[in-house]
Amino acid sequence: MSDATSTIIFEHPLNEKMRSWLRIESSLQQLEKQRHLDSQASSLSFFRTIAELIEILDRGEVRSELLKELDRQQVKLKLWLGAPNADTDMIQNLAKQLKECSIALNQGPRISQHIKEDRIISMVRQRLSIPGGCCSFDLPTLHLWLYLPQSVRDESVKAWLGSLLPLKQALESILDLIRQSTVFTPKISHNGFYQDNADEADLLRLKLDVVPNALIYPQVSGYKTRFAIRFLPMDSERIVPAHLSFELACC
């Protein structure tokens, strides 16, 4: 972005649960943008992303963690109903949405089961770890599949992503509530450094101005209740201002 008045938001997870959720969210967003498989290059990008997603989902108890968080957020919404000037209709609609997400996620099959068992995805996954291992002579089945009508491939992708819909909806609802749970507040770093307590937060969000001639990014270290931020220039020849203004939300 070249506009000097524009801003950018950096996010940093404060626990493994949030780290996993952000990676899943990123993979799902990439899959949505890559879903039109009209060439070998675009198809391999899609399959590589879906293979990475499967690995993330296989590493931990993603569904159980999401279900726990959905329950926790529903309890918080009930408490908000008793707050002065609470928007009752909005809170009740959110609670209904979370309950529907919980039911869909709990009643469905294992999150990655459908895509893991798909023949095309399985074959491509086995070759992705081999450099250049997805040539037409390595995967003649994929080569043939890519010559099928676009509508056939679109239906396959629709089924694959459809199987991930309960995960996508639950994760979007949770992350949206977490991100909106805290507003950004102005902060100032001194000599490119800032530290504070996170108070049981799951996620740090930093908002920085994008200045084309002085691009600066945050390097965050922290876990659970304590964190530190060091601001660094993208160009090593430039210097970070002694007093840098930014905005911070501990969600």
pLDDT average, residue stretch 108-126: 91
Token reading at 121: 């995805």
pLDDT band at 83 (very low <50, low <70, confident <90, very high): confident
More confident residue, 3 or 150: 150
| DSSP string for residues in the chain | ---TT-EEEEEEESSHHHHHHHHHHHHHHHHHHT----SHHHHHHHHHHHHHHHHHHHHS-HHHHHHHHHHHHHHHHHHHTTSTT--HHHHHHHHHHHHHHHHHHHHSS-TTHHHHH-HHHHHHHHHHTSTTTTSTTT-HHHHHHTTS-HHHHHHHHHHHHHHTHHHHHHHHHHHHHHHHTS--EEEEEETTEEEEE-SS-SEEEEEEE--TTS-EEEEEEEETTEEEEEEEESSTTS---SEEEEEEEE-
**pTM, full prediction:** 0.92
pLDDT average, residue stretch 209-230: 86
Q: Above pLDDT 70, what percent of the chain?
A: 98
- Statement: residue 140 has pLDDT above 80: yes
Task: Encode pLDDT of 44-70 as tens digits.
Answer: 999 999 999 999 998 878 999 999 999
Residue 134 near residue 125, CB atoms below 8 Å: no
Amino acid found at 237: E
pLDDT average, residue stretch 128-137: 89
pLDDT band at 225 (very low <50, low <70, confident <90, very high): confident
Token reading at 9: 């938001």
Residue 47 near residue 125, CB atoms below 8 Å: yes
pLDDT band at 133 (very low <50, low <70, confident <90, very high): confident
CB atoms within 10 A of CB 32: 10
Distance CA 219, CA 215 (A): 13
Torsion 80-82-85-91 (CA) sign: positive
In the chain, what are the domains? 6-13+183-250 (2.60.440.10), 35-180 (1.10.3900.10)
pLDDT band at 5 (very low <50, low <70, confident <90, very high): low
Q: Which residue has the tokens 């530190």?
A: 228
pLDDT band at 185 (very low <50, low <70, confident <90, very high): very high
- Statement: residue 78 has pLDDT above 50: yes
pLDDT band at 2 (very low <50, low <70, confident <90, very high): very low
Residue 195, pLDDT score: 93
Average model confidence (pLDDT) across the chain: 90
Residue 1, pLDDT score: 43
Residue 28, pLDDT score: 97
More confident residue, 143 or 223: 143
Task: Encode pLDDT of 146-165 as tens digits.
Answer: 999 999 999 999 999 999 99
With a CB cutoff of 8 Å and minimum separation 6, the contacts of 113 are 163
